[in-house]
Structure 1
Amino acid sequence: MSSSPALSPRGGRLALLVVGLCWLAVLFDGLDMFIYGSVLPHLLETRTFGLTADQAGDLGSYATFGMLVGALTAGTVADRIGRKQLMTGCVTLFSLASGICAVSGGVAVFGLGRTLAGVGLGGLLPTAISMVSDYARGGRVALTIGLLMTAHHTGGILSAYVAKWLVEPVGWRAAFWVCVLPLLFVPVLLRFLPESLSFLVAKGRDAEARALADRYGVELPAATGEKSAADRWDALLGLFRGGEWLQTLLYWLASFGGLLLVYGVATWLPTLMRGEGYELGSALTFVVVFNLGGIVGMLAAGRAADRFGAPRVSALWFALTAAGVHLLGVHLATGVTMVVVFLTGVFLNSAQTMVYATVSLRSAPDNRATAVGWTSGMGRFGAVFGPWLGGQLLAAGHGDRGFTAFALAGVSSTVFIGVAALRSARQPRTGGDREAVAAAR
């Protein structure tokens, strides 16, 4: 990734514009991602479409499978059509897909809508991160990306309020119609969001790049050559040479468990809390508190990693997450449970990011992006498996074991990332790459 351009005061206004627009886009991304989990207790209680718990788990996995497809193809598509066009296309896709869910008359059509929404959701986030990295003020890239990531959890908070305000009085379809409203934001993106300077330079569109740079007082990034397919294949093989295969496998397994936790809990938290005896309103409030913890965790994790080291923080965070998730299966006083949910959100939503930080820290600079990207990609299979697992447990009448199963995923990630860190402790550090870490999120 090219370095961020130096910015004048006018360039600072451009950075604010880009970050603001991308923040809103990621907010809508979070709303659409979390809305299914927020309305799921109602769908199951009313037996909408005759929905069963195992079918509900499958539907949750459809969206995360779509996210896997979107994330893996986003870079290639963005290189062809530009980051701005891809962002607007992703917002359009997941908004229209929510409309399909809103008008669906059965599980099949609803599942199609969630799958298409997942493709848009998976493609948007890495593209938005690339955009803000391109325009972030010098030395503030990590801070800017951390700020952007808070939008995703803010969208999760918004999803809980949408469900609380609309589902009971109006119906679950109204919640998905709200998720269609980001279509109104698409013309704003087309009108005001500038194209990535790195993309313009890479494509030889020098006149456009220079005009934009002159308008806002931005220094153009240096042109970089694109890697060939052979170069990318060689970078991937490098992850398995010289005994590195075991280290790579440990990172992938830790990432699998981490994203299983993230998306499993995000999908099933309200339903599992209902199963523990909490009222629907309280169960949705837990979603708000969980995502508030996620915002705090995203802002705090980087500082902790800088001080104590990403591998240590990652292992500790996963262990604390496992303990917190397990405690959620115990019916405690509501106030105590709120604290546990908040702390679980703090650790869970940043533990996975610390896996990427660890991989980045222990990778050679010329292979770092490949190592982080593939760790993220393999982990996304866990994102598909997590919602399915929760549905299977509920369908088998073992909903009370859902939190225990997710806690075990946290324990496994603790072990995998801990062993990987110990094996590489004697290797020299290559220095972290926070942009690559955050881009994999």
Structure 2
Amino acid sequence: MSSSPAPVARGSRLAVLVVLLCWTAVLFDGLDMFVYGSVLPHMLEQKALGITSGQAGDLGSYATFGMLVGALAAGTVADRIGRKKLMIACVALFSLASGLCAVANGVAVFGLGRTLAGIGLGGLLPTAISMVSDYAPRGRGALTIGLLMTAHHAGGILSAYVALWVVEPLGWRAAFWVCVVPLLFVPVLAKALPESLSFLVARGRTEQARALAARYDVEPPPAPSGRPAGGDLLDLFRGGAWIQTLLYWLASFGGLLLVYGVATWLPTLMRSEGYELGSALTFVVLFNLGGIVGMLVAGRASDRFGAPRISAIWFALTAAGVFLLSVRMPLTLTFTVVFLTGVFLNSAQTMIYATVSIRSAPAHRATAVGWTSGMGRFGAVFGPWLGGQLLAADKGDWGFTAFALAGVSSTVFIGIAALRGAKRPAAGSPEGKLLGAH
């Protein structure tokens, strides 16, 4: 008798369940991250909390500094205590922190709220990427991660509409109250999200892994050979892996400087170019729609041609697009450039994460992605601050040029990583184990 395809179907349903739950969590992550940039023009116009352009850049950097802390800690913590627990904690943290922003009576309290939200936001993303990587169909790792990251940009689109529909009639505080709603999703995650099978096996909890696998009729991953793994940062530097690790970190720095610099200041920079608030927020929508399209296109292309190569090409195209935004163009052409810039920029950075996730051993995947994201957060901190300083000095046009140069630097670093990746290490070598060579 032929074997039944039912277990494969049930395994597929498990993958869909994990991706759907993680997608929803990342949607809320994107909403919380982008909402500040979407309401910032209104806050500056109304002089809310007495915020100046320079302080606005600082506040944007507070959130990204929190994300730096969250990302650096989350990978190691997730590989030690479990990815499910950490995802739940992160969603709860950034939701409650948004409530603190909503009731803030001064810049200091608001900044504290954004910093705490950033810790939750920074911890969620690498953990969710690691979760969906565990359950991704073979040969579709980059596409699955790209699909997950469409949620981040869907959240960005949602933030623009929150600014249009909520802020004007109710004020800026209402937008942050909307960002408290994800707290209701915490019980859903606690009940429905399974723990990572590879985490359970790597931590020696094989009986729990077998029980979970039996529940969904899937095969648990094999136990790792050699010493137990799980969240050791030194694994990223053993053998020749340190070169690739540093290249990914440097590329991530430039990429996140670009992503968060543009995300924070795009509406304000466009208003400084003479566009109305409605048009400026339309740019946010187009930018994030481009991000959704780009994630799906880049994911498929990366699974075929290699994520580092696609990331390098995408960063080069991003640099060109961002630079063009400093040139006054007809509105329709500007809309097109913003959309295409969103296509390339957002997915270029995500394909760095895809590369690291796919090439890392499952036992320390969250550590590798978390530290790549975390080191990149230094750029995410610097980007919003840089934009604020340029605007405060009445040199807003230089903002697009500075961000374009960051794109060029990421092109160089991830391009070198792509060239080095063309000579794959032996599967038995330390570097081969870390990069997933096979």
The answer, yes or no, to whether TM exceeds 0.5 is yes
- Matched-pair contact (CA < 8 Å) for 1:365–1:430: no
2:387 aligns with 390
User: What pairs up with 1:105-254 in 2 under 5 angstroms?
Assistant: 105-224=105-224, 225-227=227-229, 232-233=233-234, 235-236=236-237, 238=239, 244=243, 251-254=248-251
Stretches of structure 1 that go unaligned for 5 or more consecutive residues are: 1-5
- Matched-pair contact (CA < 8 Å) for 2:146–2:295: yes
In the TM superposition, what whole-angstrom CA distance separates every residue of 1:308-363 from its partner, at most 9, and x where no partner exists?
555554333222212211221223222111100000001111222445567789x8
Partners in 1 of 2:363 and 2:199 — Cα distance? 21
Name which of 335, 345, 348 aligns with 1:348: 345
Partners in 2 of 1:227 and 1:310 — Cα distance? 25
1:320 aligns with 317
Q: State the aligned residue count.
A: 422
Instruction: Name which of structure 1's ranges 377-386 and 346-355 shifts more when overlaid on structure 2.
Output: 346-355
The alpha carbon displacement at 1:145 in A equals: 2.1
- Say if 1:430 and 1:303 are closer, same or farther in 2 by CA, change over 3 A: farther
Partners in 2 of 1:232 and 1:130 — Cα distance? 16
Stretches of structure 2 that go unaligned for 5 or more consecutive residues are: 1-5
- Say if 1:238 and 1:382 are closer, same or farther in 2 by CA, change over 3 A: farther
Instruction: Name which of structure 1's ranges 13-22 and 250-259 shifts more when overlaid on structure 2.
Output: 250-259
Partners in 1 of 2:26 and 2:417 — Cα distance? 32
Partners in 1 of 2:95 and 2:18 — Cα distance? 21
Name which of 404, 409, 412 aligns with 1:407: 404
Q: 2:229 corresponds to which letter in structure 1?
A: K
Partners in 2 of 1:214 and 1:32 — Cα distance? 37
- Matched-pair contact (CA < 8 Å) for 1:236–1:371: no
The alpha carbon displacement at 1:7 in A equals: 5.0
Partners in 2 of 1:420 and 1:213 — Cα distance? 36
Partners in 2 of 1:360 and 1:211 — Cα distance? 26
- Matched-pair contact (CA < 8 Å) for 1:94–1:119: yes
Calculate the TM-score normalised by the size of structure 2: 0.87
The alpha carbon displacement at 1:210 in A equals: 2.8
- Equivalent position SS for 2:61: helix
Partners in 1 of 2:425 and 2:303 — Cα distance? 14
Partners in 1 of 2:382 and 2:267 — Cα distance? 18
Q: 2:297 corresponds to which letter in structure 1?
A: A
- Equivalent position SS for 1:168: helix
Q: 1:117 corresponds to which letter in structure 2?
A: A
Instruction: Name which of structure 1's ranges 183-192 and 206-215 shifts more when overlaid on structure 2.
Output: 206-215
Partners in 1 of 2:156 and 2:174 — Cα distance? 17
Q: 1:127 corresponds to which letter in structure 2?
A: T
- Matched-pair contact (CA < 8 Å) for 1:313–1:354: yes
- Say if 1:288 and 1:7 are closer, same or farther in 2 by CA, change over 3 A: farther
1:3 aligns with none
User: What pairs up with 1:324-343 in 2 under 5 angstroms?
Assistant: 324-343=321-340
- Matched-pair contact (CA < 8 Å) for 1:239–1:371: no
- Matched-pair contact (CA < 8 Å) for 1:239–1:248: no
Q: 1:184 corresponds to which letter in structure 2?
A: L
Partners in 2 of 1:172 and 1:403 — Cα distance? 27
- Matched-pair contact (CA < 8 Å) for 2:203–2:229: no
- Equivalent position SS for 1:167: helix
1:65 aligns with 65
**Would you say 1:428 and 2:423 are equivalent positions?**
yes
- Matched-pair contact (CA < 8 Å) for 2:315–2:345: yes
- Say if 1:387 and 1:42 are closer, same or farther in 2 by CA, change over 3 A: same
Instruction: Name which of structure 1's ranges 274-283 and 309-318 shifts more when overlaid on structure 2.
Output: 309-318
Partners in 1 of 2:212 and 2:372 — Cα distance? 35
Q: 2:123 corresponds to which letter in structure 1?
A: G
Question: How many percent of aligned residue pairs carry the same amino acid?
Answer: 77
- Matched-pair contact (CA < 8 Å) for 2:143–2:298: no
Partners in 2 of 1:76 and 1:254 — Cα distance? 21
- Equivalent position SS for 2:237: helix
Partners in 1 of 2:337 and 2:378 — Cα distance? 27
Instruction: Name which of structure 1's ranges 204-213 and 182-191 shifts more when overlaid on structure 2.
Output: 204-213
- Matched-pair contact (CA < 8 Å) for 1:235–1:367: no
- Equivalent position SS for 1:343: helix
Q: 1:110 corresponds to which letter in structure 2?
A: F
The alpha carbon displacement at 1:377 in A equals: 3.5
- Say if 1:239 and 1:259 are closer, same or farther in 2 by CA, change over 3 A: farther
Calculate the TM-score normalised by the size of structure 1: 0.86
- Say if 1:248 and 1:79 are closer, same or farther in 2 by CA, change over 3 A: closer
- Equivalent position SS for 1:329: coil
Partners in 1 of 2:362 and 2:152 — Cα distance? 30
The alpha carbon displacement at 1:249 in A equals: 5.4
2:3 aligns with none
